[in-house]
Chain A
Amino acid sequence: MTQGRDEVFDNAELAPGDEHAEGGVGLRVLGYLTGLGLALLLTATSFFVAGTDLVWEPSIPVALVVLGIAQMGVHLVFFLHITTGPDNTNNVLALAFGILIVVLVMGGSLWIMANLNHNMMPMDQLMQMQR
């Protein structure tokens, strides 16, 4: 089945979560280990950045968001096996649409509510909001 798929269809699809055909068990375990290592590294960095005085304070939330997104990418690639390969196009397109909606919902809500707060709140309460 596999060789038929590879010979006849260069663009055959892959179920989300499935890995590409080549590579034995050892290589696959190594892939998961790489993901685990990278994820641990990024998690440790996140917790370190959150608790340290070494980083300029206003930059911390941005750094945390960037580290979080990077770790999500690591999980997608090494655990869910979402790649840019031609056999993954459908999965990536669905993911892209999901990300679009998530960004719209979160970004839109925060933008609108921040604007509302800015227009409606007295200053002292506004300062409290931004803690």
Chain B
Amino acid sequence: MSTVALTDAHHGSAASREWSGPASKRIVTGYGFWIFILSDMVMFSALFATYAVLLGQTAGGPSGRELFDLRNVAIETGLLLASSFACGLASIAADTRNTTWFQLAMAVTCAFGLGFLFLEVQEFAGLVARGAGPTRSAFLSAFFTLVGCHGLHVSAGILWLLTMMAQVFAKGFRADIQRRILCFALFWHALDIIWIAVFTVVYLIGSAR
């Protein structure tokens, strides 16, 4: 864990901390962002429930088994997992204040994330071209809403990632920057957790009989 960013103005010395007063800003910020992530997961759970309910409502159109390319999904899963791992290395580099490793690990995280997004956009474009766009059936509406929402989160995450790289480059590992890196890492790992649910529920169960 990082010892650097724990230092805060109202936590001057160990001697003045006989009672466990207000938590450090890193804990408060991280905890608040953790609550946001959990509420985001609650939102996703509603989309998952919608998808599961509408799975069979293909309105005579193509079903998941005819549409999904599981090899593509496996590659996407691998890319996102590798990206999550690289993000973990970036957090370690941020805690040890190693700029070179941080920027390198973040660049790798970004590259894997972009690869994931590229495959997803390609898949969506292919489906629309085959006449299986979101307007085809309730099943496809639910599919595009759920997977597209995850894709939007990944896109936002990549913008945030590039912002963090630029901020570390311009301002260094200041305490506030460290807190943002902590929140970004939480966000990125949480996206990978949601993707586990996506490939399990949407693709693997959705393409079974």
Question: Is the A/B pair a real complex?
Answer: yes
Closest to A125 in B: B56
Segment from B14-22, B120-128, B143-151 that makes contact with A: B14-22
Contacts of A47 in B (CB 8 A): 70, 74, 204
Q: Is the CB of B6 within 8 A of A101?
A: no
What is the CB-to-nearest-CB distance from B19 to chain A, in angstroms, rounded to a whole number? 9
**Interface code B79-108, partner A: CB below 8 Å = 1, 0 otherwise?**
001101100110110001000000000000
**Judging by beta carbons under 8 Å apart, are A8 and B85 in contact?**
no
A105 close to B200 (CB less than 8 A): no
With contacts A105-B45, A110-B52 taken as known, whether A13 is within 8 angstroms of B27 at the C-beta atoms is: yes
Beta-carbon contact of A71 and B27 below 8 Å: no
Tell me which residues from 16 to 72 in chain A have a Cβ below 8 Å from any Cβ of chain B: 16-21, 25, 28-29, 32-33, 35-36, 39-40, 43, 46-47, 50-51, 57, 60-61, 64-65, 67-68, 71-72
B-side interface residues, number (CB < 8 Å): 63
Contacting pair A46 B200 (CB below 8 A): yes
| Complex: chain B residue closest to A75, CB-CB | B193
From B153-161, B163-171, B181-189, the one touching the partner chain is B181-189
Contacts A18-B2, A29-B89, A105-B45; A46 near B204 (Cβ below 8 A): yes
Asked if B111 is at the interface of the complex by the 8 Å CB criterion, the answer is: no
A contact residues around B189 at 8 Å (CB) = 17, 75, 79-80
Q: Which of B7, B48, B49 has the most C-beta atoms of chain A within 10 angstroms of its own C-beta?
A: B49
Contacts of B5-57 to chain A: CB distance below 8 A = 6-7, 11, 13-14, 17-18, 20, 23, 26-27, 29-31, 33-35, 38-39, 41-42, 45-46, 48-50, 52-53, 56
Residues of B within 8 A of A (CB): 1-3, 6-7, 11, 13-14, 17-18, 20, 23, 26-27, 29-31, 33-35, 38-39, 41-42, 45-46, 48-50, 52-53, 56, 63, 70, 74, 77-78, 81-82, 84-85, 88-89, 91-92, 96, 182, 185-186, 189-190, 192-193, 196-197, 199-201, 204-205, 207-209
3 A-B pairs closest in CB distance: A4-B14, A15-B30, A98-B38
A-B contact pairs, 18 of them (CB 8 A): A4-B13, A5-B6, A5-B14, A8-B17, A8-B18, A13-B27, A14-B27, A15-B30, A25-B92, A32-B92, A46-B199, A60-B208, A64-B204, A68-B201, A94-B34, A102-B45, A109-B46, A109-B49
